[in-house]
Amino acid sequence: MSTLSEAYGDYPIPSDITPLDFNSIDKVPETHIWSQPDLQTHQYHPQDPIIPVIDLTDPNAIDQIRQACETLGMFQVINHGVPSVLVNKVESEIRRLFGLPIQEKCKVLRSPTGATGYGTARISPFYDKGMWHEGFTIMGSCLDDAKTLWPHDFQGFCDTMDAFQNQMKLLAHNLLRLIFQSLDATQEEINWATSSHGSQGALQLNSYPSCPNPDGTLGLAAHTDTLLLTLLHQGGGVNGLEIFVEGSGWTPVKPVEDGFVVNLGDLMHIFSNSKFPVVYHRVMVNQSKQRISAAYFCGPPVESVVAPSSKFRNPCFRPLVVKEYISLKAKHFNKALSLIGQE
């Protein structure tokens, strides 16, 4: 059976994926200076939408989730059951990783056909400017990379990331069950999204160093996430994440203590037959603080077929194998969804 890692590995990234050495520069280079409209910023408006914060122990949580999925495709959850001690450990391991000198981090640079390791964002080749960002991708065990980075001190990193991936998978599956129920999905469809063997996950660790000219560059340019659902921890309460809302523009997603951001991915847009929106988001940087985040992407088996739920009589997307969608996204980025649309 194919894995997510193989599905991504089939599409080598053509360009150099080495991030800048952020420790050694005091000025944003021309290669990383963006122009309008990419930099368009947010003007606060009293009618601006607020990203809902949903308490998962609230008996009405499912209704609030349905509402949030139908309007924004994004919400935050609290009382989700993930121990805060673990989240704190994840944060400190992320700081330990990105705090290494660039020569060390480059020892685990993603290979051109690889999906895991250190490097620039996967969306980088679709933009001609660089992003103020470095990332590290984990799918399953990160033992080899951790041993390379810390030959005598790798266990803490691996144990923490393993435990975190397990917790993320549990939470993602609980949320997927609620979201699928809110769509009246069949039990078979729920099993497809939440099977404990076949379902696929990836953990993306992100660092956005403090930036001498934050108004001229971007941490992560506008994109949608590919799989069904993403869980995101925004580290240290540092702002930066924004969602694009029709009619309001780029809207900040303020970190909530002990909360996770949940955002729907392209496969969920397909499964919901466009009932749930496509969720464009991006990350801005700031002058004084490093921002870190951990994003867990959750999807169905890569060999399975994704299609609008059987309850929709007029499907607006054609059915296709999940890894075929991953390859369309790797080649056509933001145009992938329109390529599978049908009347």
Ligand X SMILES: O=C(O)CCC(=O)C(=O)O
Point out the residues that are catalytic. Answer: 291
Applying CB under 5 A, which part among 97-105, 195-203, 222-230, 321-329 lies near Fe ion?
Answer: 222-230
Total residues contacting Fe ion by CB under 5 A comes to: 1
Smallest gap from residue 265 Cβ to Fe ion (A): 8
Peptide linkage before 37 cis (omega within 30 of 0): yes
Smallest gap from residue 137 Cβ to ligand X (A): 9
**Smaller CB distance to ligand X: residue 254 or 275?**
254
Smallest gap from residue 294 Cβ to ligand X (A): 8
**Smaller CB distance to ligand X: residue 147 or 254?**
254
Phi, psi angles (nearest 5°) of residue 243: -115, 145
Burial label for 275, CB within 10 Å (0-12, 13-18, 19+), is middle
CA pair distance 202, 296, nearest whole angstrom: 6
Encoded tokens for 11: 């599409």
Smallest gap from residue 220 Cβ to ligand X (A): 6
**Smaller CB distance to Fe ion: residue 175 or 190?**
175
CA pair distance 21, 197, nearest whole angstrom: 39
**Smaller CB distance to Fe ion: residue 134 or 225?**
225
**Smaller CB distance to Fe ion: residue 7 or 227?**
227
DSSP 111-150: PTT--SEEES-TTGGGSSS--S-EEEEESS--HHHHHHH-
Which partner from the list Fe ion, ligand X, none does 217 bind, CB cut-off 5 to 8 Å by kind?
A: none
Which partner from the list ligand X, Fe ion, none does 182 bind, CB cut-off 5 to 8 Å by kind?
A: none
Q: Which residues bind ligand X (CB under 6 A)?
A: 204, 206, 220, 225, 232, 234, 241, 281, 283, 293, 295
The sign of the CA dihedral 3, 91, 88, 297 is: negative
Applying CB under 5 A, which part among 39-47, 149-157, 161-169, 217-225 lies near Fe ion?
Answer: 217-225
Smallest gap from residue 135 Cβ to ligand X (A): 7
Residues 240/230, Cβ–Cβ less than 8 Å: no
Q: Which residues pair with 191 in a beta bridge?
A: none
Q: Which of 93, 145, 189, 225 binds Fe ion (CB under 5 A)?
A: 225
DSSP 154-190: -HHHHHHHHHHHHHHHHHHHHHHHHHHHHTT--HHHH
Burial label for 304, CB within 10 Å (0-12, 13-18, 19+), is middle
Q: Which helix (H) or strand (E) holds 306?
A: strand 305-306
**Smaller CB distance to ligand X: residue 183 or 336?**
336
Footprint on this chain of Fe ion (rule: CB under 5 A): 225
